[in-house]
Amino acid sequence: MGGNSKFMMEIFVRDGLPFVFATIIFRGNSLTLENVLLDTGSAGTIFKVDLLIDIGVQPEPYDMTKTVYGVGGKEFVYTKTMDKVMIGSMVSDNFQVEVGKMDYGIDIDGIIGFNFMQSVGMTIDTKKLRLGLGQ
């Protein structure tokens, strides 16, 4: 990560995959998820519907719905704008995420996709297993 980057959070590896903690704030309600996959191959960020219900996230008539495709197959999701999505002190305000069942055969609470990484300018140090911000 070089001299211009700032350490923000550790990555933990499970089953050979990188995971982080993420905090979501929706309409003033906060939820921290401890099992969120860091996925540079995913264009979007998605969280498990069953967990977000606890902070009042539910489908509403004006929500956009779509089908997303990935290694786990296809899934119907709806889009919500979160007040904030945070990984450590990396924060993206008014950030759009997908919400879905996430029945992929592995136990995960969500996926941080490239859209979040790019919005905060995230750097990933795979050797030291940490995230940061930097040039």
Number of domains the chain contains: 1
26-62 per-position pLDDT tens digit = 999 999 999 999 999 999 999 999 999 999 999 999 9
Query: The domain spanning residue 107 has which CATH number?
Result: 2.40.70.10
User: Would 104 be classed as within a structural domain?
Assistant: yes
DSSP letter string over 17-64?
EEEEEEEEEETTEEEEEEEEEE-TT-SS-EEEHHHHGGGT----TT--
Whether this model's pTM surpasses 0.85 = yes
Is 5 within a domain? no
In a domain, 4, yes or no: no
Range of the domain at 44: 11-125
pLDDT at 2 over 60: no
- Provide the pLDDT for residue 6: 67
Quickly state the pLDDT bin for 7 (edges 50, 70, 90). Answer: low
**Does residue 135 lie within any of the structural domains?**
no
Residue 119 within any structural domain of the chain:
yes
Let me know: does 124 contact 100? Beta carbons within 8 Å. no
Position 132 in a domain = no
